[in-house]
Structure 1
């Protein structure tokens, strides 16, 4: 429970129930791994990040807004995948495998983003704004670093491998490649959103949670599009 605030814990129970009901233990453990690794990397260099004022609030504990901002896309994909299993037919023209990979990719995307942000803030030697490549302080919205970018690949790959190979959830090695690529591209797009929209005045609704939902949706959509083309050929 130290990973979550009390209300965050309550919401995570609801989330876990939904995922276990729709995707079973294998789908559920994919989300558990995301939460564990995300919390672990958040703690890396936490004291230094806190001293610079760029650490996650509440000591890195996640609240309900974090739970749903990160996992809502995954829940929607899981529900769609479950519908295909229940009916035996494609849902919105897409099979179980496509929706299931969308689920894995959405969480791989969020973990890639978390790894990029936390490792970049802790160990990034030079941080650039993605739109101009001008040096900016660590923690700036839309900032990227070599260390953070490499870490994002590790984060996305870790979750994709677990979801697609370790528990054999969907698509094997091909799914790993697709989900990892989708997570990386979506993470770069998230940085662009941060640099161009999130910092603009008048867009107060563009919160981190909204950006997280957009980010995970983009990752899922890319992966689903790629695997749909793969299956169709």
Structure 2
């Protein structure tokens, strides 16, 4: 049974982060509520170290979205609603990580940490790296055929964006390692490779499925790419 004090602490932590973010238009109201679900779930089923990682996704993604927002708006590639993220975006990027956190709390095992790390790294590198990539001075290329496409096109990649995605995934792994979360999971390798793979799967899905299937939106792309990135991370964990 979960201690009520633990629930109060989890709620307080999420409030300290979530309410100012709502005021600063980083999330809308639905994003705030869904953030409570994901954030509190991670805290209640694991510990604060796991929460720090999903907080870094939230912080880096929000910061990258707001960074040079007006410049991206002029290009026509800025996130809508002044950059505020809603519940679909929160769940699309955070549901896989939350699932691994729940599995860790209920079952336990290093494999769930590996999946969690890769899921967080995938979501963070794709969202934050993609926002940085939109600021590239060079035209991006479609990941499937490397032809030049307009900035903001689904499936578009750039050297700046790819570099940012790799470094962000690496950062997540280094952070986990620095907090002592490794425990044999080879956190840096799992997060870096799993995250980078997931971010590029997102681009492939964007270039193929998202542009051709009417009901398939960006949030489905986020969810599936994060899931596959996590699976890749688990596979890498077993190979190491």
Query: Normalising by the residue count of structure 1, what TM-score does the alignment of the two structures yield?
Result: 0.88
1:177 to 189, 195, 198: 189
2:142 maps to which residue? 129
Aligned 1:12-91 pairs, distance under 5 A:
12-85=35-108
Instruction: Say if 1:180 and 1:35 are closer, same or farther in 2 by CA, change over 3 A.
Output: same
2:4 maps to which residue? none
CA contact (8 A) 1:44 1:122 kept: no
Could you say what secondary structure the match of 2:135 adopts? helix
2:230 to 220, 223, 232: 220
1:141 maps to which residue? 154
CA contact (8 A) 2:61 2:127 kept: yes
Does 2:174 align with 1:161?
yes
- Distance in 2 (CA, whole Å) between partners of 1:229 and 1:177 is 11
CA deviation profile, 1:80-112 (whole Å, cap 9, x unmatched): 111224xxxxxxxxxx11111211110100111
Instruction: Tell me the number of residue pairs that the alignment of Structure 1 and Structure 2 aligns.
Output: 217
1:93 maps to which residue? none
Does 2:215 align with 1:205?
yes
5+ residue gaps in structure 1?
86-95
> What's the CA shift for 1:154?
1.3
Could you say what secondary structure the match of 1:75 adopts? helix
Could you say what secondary structure the match of 2:78 adopts? coil
- Distance in 2 (CA, whole Å) between partners of 1:70 and 1:41 is 15
Query: Normalising by the residue count of structure 2, what TM-score does the alignment of the two structures yield?
Result: 0.86
CA contact (8 A) 1:124 1:138 kept: no
- Distance in 2 (CA, whole Å) between partners of 1:212 and 1:38 is 13
- Distance in 2 (CA, whole Å) between partners of 1:67 and 1:124 is 29
> What's the CA shift for 1:172?
6.7
CA contact (8 A) 1:129 1:143 kept: yes
5+ residue gaps in structure 2?
1-20
- Distance in 2 (CA, whole Å) between partners of 1:173 and 1:224 is 9
